[in-house]
Amino acid sequence: MGRAFEYRKARKLKRWGSMSRTFTKIGKEITMAVKSGGPDPSSNSRLRALMANAKAANMPKDTVERAIKKASDKDASDYKEVIYEGFGPHGIAILVETATDNTTRTVANLRTAFNKNGGALGNSGTVAFMFSHKCYFHVTPKNDITLDDLELEMIDFGAEEFELDDDKIIISGAFEANGDIQKYLEDNGFEITSSEFVYEPADYKELNEEQRAEVDKLIDVLEDDDDVQNVFTNMNG
């Protein structure tokens, strides 16, 4: 398994908290998708992908429909995607992905979290250059095409890595290729069970168990913030 897939799997183990927390995160993403692309999933590829993610997370269909309807209301909260950067204990680079309707509140909360847990919130560009923005698609295999053939087909659409994991094909590529990859999969009858965008570090920093615990403490505090969607680091493991 490639290093990128190892990173994704390790991060995913830490990513999901309680079910209600997961639903809240997906709900915010649905709101932003509807605000930018409209409430019709047939013409909004990002919304289609999020509906698949909601299904994979066992989010009730009526909850998803309410989220779409609420996001269509002109008075609905207007969340913005904002990335914050900083360093954790032992020089670990951290990217914090947020969905916020009040950046003043968000940055104040994040600065406090960093300062109280051995880190420091930085300016834009502090650590972003250490990460690549990637997309991942989890796809149900089809009997009429092998993994090798699918790889050959999809290289021209920006797909970079392929892995068979738990009876699903995982396909990754640069973030900019996510639209082309999704369109190919949909046009060719593949079931996309879920997808995600991640920031993957170019290099990984090794820490001992005690040091990792210090970084994990900061990550836990950050992830407990209602404005935080995801936290990415260059810590190995």
CATH class of 17-72: mainly alpha
- Output the pTM of the full model: 0.89
DSSP H/E element including 231 = strand 228-233
Q: Where are the domains of the chain?
A: 1-16+76-237, 17-72
Model confidence over 111-164: pLDDT tens digits?
999 999 999 999 999 999 999 999 999 999 998 899 999 999 999 999 999 998
Fold classified for 1-16+76-237: Alpha-Beta Plaits (3.30.70)
Model confidence over 213-229: pLDDT tens digits?
999 999 999 999 999 99
* CB contact set of 210 (below 8 Å; sequence gap of 6+): none
First vs last C-alpha separation in the chain: 15
Residue length of the chain:
237
Q: How deeply is 77 buried, as exposed, middle or buried, from its count of CB atoms within 10 A (0-12, 13-18, 19+)?
A: middle
Model confidence over 6-29: pLDDT tens digits?
545 444 434 445 677 889 999 999
Q: How far is residue 197's CA from residue 1's CA, in Å, rounded to a whole number?
A: 19
Span 50-59, mean pLDDT?
94
